[in-house]
Amino acid sequence: MRTRNIGFVSTRFAGTDGVSLEADKWAEVFEKNGNRCFWLAGELDKAPQISVRIPEAHFNHDQNRWIDHHVFGKKRRDPNVTERIHALRSYLKTKLHQFIERFDLDVLIAENVLTIPMHIPLGLALAETIAETQIPTIAHHHDFYWERVRFSANAVGDYLRMAFPPNLPQIEHVVINSIAREELAHRAGISATIIPNVIDFDHPPEMNRERCRAFRASLGLRSGEKIVLQPTRIVQRKGIEHAIELVHALKDERLKLVISHEAGDEGFEYADRVKEYAADHDVDLRFAETDRKVAWACGQNHPACYSLGDAYMSADFITYPSLNEGFGNAFLEAIYFKKPILINRYAIFAKDIEPKGFDLVVMDGFLNKKIIKRVEEILKSPLRKEKMVNHNYRIAARHYSYHLLEEQLVPLLNRFPDTSDRRHSDEPQIEKPCNILQLRNSKIIQAAV
């Protein structure tokens, strides 16, 4: 197979969000098979020599937040808003063309940026760039706009139909669950390949008891106290109230509810709600200061740096009562670290994961006495816990390991023809580049209150 230069594009490639983690796994598989990977995003944790950081491409950039404020929850779009969208689209498209040329890219991987409209100008810019260059592209879709209530009322239906996702012959579409594949076909007439999220189950994690003790000490835990871990961001669809209700119902003062991720991606109001709800239920809620840029391990020279892996390894029980998920990385992570888990039957879990035969504590939208009793039994019985987690690990290794990702991803890449001469004939006319200083200072792009 010919070595290819592969460019990943998104708003962010940093930290422990699902998109960043899965992109890293794909890159690992690509590079294992002799390819080279490069990165473009608004936030990056990649080496400068293989990446391009464009601050305006981040979903939290001021320009993009201004646009979001004026198009979501609205039915009418002001012409000034349209001009602002296209000014930023034009600038980002120029940067995308430069990214392709700089690294002589053969293939693009669009990581959720053509899926959920958290950055409309970037999605438009990427769709146009793909159409203009005809560069082969894999659009990796994690969660679509129609799956999120906050995007249901909008003034950008034309842009959503154009670019989220675009129906272009150069694009191979990949979704992470069967419901998404069905909805994509129904709504847009687009066929897609299902590639679920994975973890390297062929290489189990190694227990580091010293790091676990240090992590527990960083939370102020004393000997004998236990961690109920909620390994998610603090956003409403994660259903964290159910985790609080569980700890309250268990009536064990040794149990501390620990949340591993930060708030911010969708505002801070829900974080305040979670704190108040925990206080009202007399639940000791703590926030782990894990390094959001590190998934599983920190360097030995940084003993105060704790990773998401440290949090999992230190936990006694995992809560994952999400209301909806595109797949559910935290579910696989809990299985990987051999932890018992309470999970809510969100749609994707019920359709794609539950039939695999995992041994879990499952709730169907609410807690009851039977569920509380099962959790109590698991916490009190090491033998029951060990049997459960080992069974789950074996099942997950069969269905969600790296070798399965490789078996699907490499043939998908090989569907694309050799396009090494693509940019040397029929060169597209690229829109005249914008000077970003002019863009920032122009009447169109100035920040508005």
440 pLDDT higher than 60 = no
Segment 42-75, tens digit of pLDDT? 999 999 999 999 999 999 999 999 999 999 999 9
CB-CB contact of 263 with 271 (8 Å):
yes
Calculate the CA 150 to chain-centre distance: 18
CA angle 320, 323, 327 (to 5 degrees): 70
Compute the C-alpha angle 76/77/79, nearest 5°: 140
Nearest to 110 by CA among 3, 102, 100: 100
| CATH number corresponding to 5-198+402-423 | 3.40.50.2000
Mean pLDDT, the chain, integer? 88
Please give the pLDDT value at position 369: 95
- Total-model pTM: 0.83
**Matching fold, domains 5-198+402-423 and 209-399:** yes
For residue 364, count other CB atoms closer than 10 A to its CB: 10
Measure the CA angle with vertex 61, ends 142 and 57; round to 5°.
55
pLDDT at 324: 86
- The pLDDT confidence band at residue 433, using thresholds 50, 70 and 90, is very low
Fold held by 209-399: Rossmann fold (3.40.50)
Could you tell me where the DSSP H helices lie in 52-202? 62-71, 79-102, 120-133, 157-163, 178-188
pLDDT at 37: 98
- Give the span between the Cα atoms of 190 and 432, in whole angstroms: 32
In this predicted model, what pLDDT tens digit does every residue of 386-404 receive, in sequence order? 999 999 999 999 999 998 9
pLDDT of residue 41: 98
Residue 442 pLDDT > 80, yes or no? no
Average pLDDT over residues 33-49: 96
Q: What angle do CA 280, 286, 289 make, to 5 degrees?
A: 150
Nearest residue to 85 via CA among 128, 59, 120, 34: 120
Q: Are 228 and 379 in contact (CB under 8 A)?
A: no
Instruction: Delimit the domains of the chain by residue range.
Output: 5-198+402-423, 209-399
Give the per-residue pLDDT at 259: 93
Tens of pLDDT, residues 353-379:
999 999 999 999 999 999 999 999 999
**CB–CB of 107/4 below 8 Å?**
yes
Q: Peptide bond preceding 165: is omega within 30 degrees of 0, i.e. cis?
A: yes
